[in-house]
Amino acid sequence: MQQTMVIRTKTPEDKQKVIRAIQDKDSSSILDPEGNPVTLWIGTSLDMMTILDIEGVEDAVSSDALCYCRSGKERYPLSDARGIFCGYVCEDCEEEKRAMFRPEIFTDGNYIADEQIEEDY
Ligand SMILES: [Zn+2]
């Protein structure tokens, strides 16, 4: 069974080395070399330990834990001052996501809710 994960490497050269190493080990791996020069999305049947053992791999995370903005970083829930869930973010997109809300909802637990709160997440 294939799983999707994101691999980070130190340099773009390392990324090319890692791509070749993965293809050697599992030729059925689906590699998506687009995007960030040091980030690689792959679908592979290799397990995490095997991937982490490859020279040049800095870090690898299963995509189940990753942010939807495709930064390749782990996601965590963003909640307002009342503990209301506002969505998943990572360190790359948290600021952008927060900017979509009024700033006081993150600092003042007694803010006045004058908009409909979306309950069906
Ligand atoms: Zn993100």
Per-residue pLDDT of the chain (121 residues; tens, 9 = 90+): 788 888 999 999 999 999 999 999 999 999 886 678 898 989 999 999 999 999 999 999 888 888 888 887 889 999 999 999 999 999 999 999 999 999 999 999 998 876 665 666 5
Q: Residue 22 and residue 15: Cα distance in Å, rounded?
A: 11
Question: Would you put residue 83 in left (φ > 0), alpha (ψ -120 to 50) or beta?
Answer: left
Work out the end-to-end distance of the chain between its first and last CA atoms, rounded to an integer number of angstroms. Answer: 29
Ligand 1 centroid, distance to 66 Cα (angstroms)? 8
- Domains of the chain by range and CATH? 3-64 (3.30.70.1650), 66-112 (no CATH)
Phi, psi of 112 (to 5 degrees): -85, 120
Ligand 1 centroid, distance to 77 Cα (angstroms)? 11
Ligand 1 centroid, distance to 26 Cα (angstroms)? 29
Over its C-alpha atoms, the chain yields an Rg (Å, rounded) of 19
pTM score, two decimals?
0.60
Ligand 1 centroid, distance to 59 Cα (angstroms)? 17
Ligand 1 centroid, distance to 97 Cα (angstroms)? 9
The strand pairing partners of 5, in sequence order, are 42, 62
